[in-house]
Amino acid sequence: RKEVEQDPGPFNVPEGATVAFNCTYSNSASQSFFWYRQDCRKEPKLLMSVYSSGNEDGRFTAQLNRASQYISLLIRDSKLSDSATYLCVVNYANDYKLSFGAGTTVTVRA
């Protein structure tokens, strides 16, 4: 079983729509959680951290549910430029090692 599991999608949504997706992690000792974004044939870039209380960054909202061991990302008012693969990332109680999910692909159409 993979440490971080994501629905690969693709999620195909019209501009202006809301799209949400989850990822689950297997290690209950996980400490830190993040969403990275990866455009096609580009490098991953940190999108946002995920806090227990939930957090927003503009149109993006991230939630963490420790009891059920899942993380979610919601994108409101989707833009064409939001089309990308979103990688769920978990840090297991050390200072450096990140574990990545396989990614969820989102395509926003005009």
Partner 1 sequence: GAGVSQSPRYKVAKRGQDVALRCDPISGHVSLFWYQQALGQGPEFLTYFQNEAQLDKSGLPSDRFFAERPEGSVSTLKIQRTQQEDSAVYLCASSIIGAGLRGEQYFGPGTRLTVT
Scanning 11-19, 27-35, 52-60, 66-74 for contacts with partner 1 by CB under 8 A, the matching segment is: 27-35
* Number of residues this chain uses to bind partner 1 (CB under 8 A): 25
**Does 11 contact partner 1 by CB under 8 A?**
no
9, 21 contact by CB (below 8 A): yes
**Beta carbon of residue 30, minimum distance to partner 1 (angstroms, whole number):** 11
Min CB(94)–partner 1 separation in Å:
7
